[in-house]
Amino acid sequence: MSKAVNLEESDAMEYGELSPAAAQGLQALTNAGLSDGHDIRILFEASGFSLTHAWFKSGYPLPLHKHNADCLYYIISGSLKLGTEILEAGDGFFLPAEVPYTYTPGEDGVEILEFRNRTHFDIRFMANNSAFWEKAAQSVVDRRGHWENERRPVSNRN
C-alpha cells in the first residue's frame, strides 16, 4: 500500500479560473495560515475513482465551491453543518458534479472521506466578493492559535 499523498502536493486537483476577488482572497487566506486548518490526503486512486481523507479543524472557512466530479462524503468523526443540517460521524451526503456547496466544521472539527468518480478533478470557487474573502481571512487569523493545539475529533459513532 502506498503512502497517502498530500492533496496540495499532488496533481489530482486543479484550480479553475479565478475571479480577481477570489485570487486575492485565496492569497490572503494562504498568507493568514489557512494550511494550518486542514490536512487533506489522497488515500487511493484507480480506474477513474479516488478516495481522499480530509481533516478540517474547527471554524475552517471553506469557501463556496464546486467540482467537476460527483462526490460521496462520509463523516468519520466530528461534525459539520451543511445548509441547515448538522451531520455527525456515520452520516454522509452526495453532491453531483457542478453543484456549489460549502459546509462549516463543528466545534471539534470534522474528519471526512471523499469518494470521487475521477482521479483528477477541479475546484472552482463561487465566492466572488471581497467582503467574503476578508471575513474568511480574519477567521483564519482568529482561529490559527487554536488550530495549533487542536486534535482530530473522536468518533462518537455507536
Please give the tally of structural domains in the chain.
1
- 4-13, 22-31, 41-50, 96-105: least confident range: 4-13
Other C-beta atoms lying within 10 Å of the C-beta of residue 25: 25
154 pLDDT more than 70: yes
Domain assignment of residue 68, yes or no: yes
- Residue 158: pLDDT band by 50, 70, 90 thresholds? low
- Residue 2: pLDDT band by 50, 70, 90 thresholds? low
Give CA 155 to chain center in angstroms.
19
CA distance 64 to 40: 17
Grid cell, residue 125, equals 470557487
Domain assignment of residue 157, yes or no: no
Q: Give the residue numbers spanning the domain of 140.
A: 5-144
CA distance 121 to 151: 29
Domain assignment of residue 99, yes or no: yes
Domain assignment of residue 158, yes or no: no
Read off the CATH number of the domain in which 88 is found: 2.60.120.10
Domain assignment of residue 50, yes or no: yes
The predicted-structure confidence for 78-130, as pLDDT tens digits, reads as follows: 999 999 999 999 999 999 999 999 999 999 999 999 999 999 999 999 988 89
Other C-beta atoms lying within 10 Å of the C-beta of residue 145: 11
The predicted-structure confidence for 33-70, as pLDDT tens digits, reads as follows: 999 999 999 999 999 999 999 999 999 999 999 999 99
The pLDDT score that the predictor gives to residue 1 is: 39
Domain assignment of residue 150, yes or no: no
156 pLDDT more than 80: no
Query: pTM higher than 0.85, yes or no?
Result: yes
Domain assignment of residue 151, yes or no: no
Helix (H) or strand (E) holding 132: helix 130-149
The pLDDT score that the predictor gives to residue 6 is: 86
Domain assignment of residue 152, yes or no: no
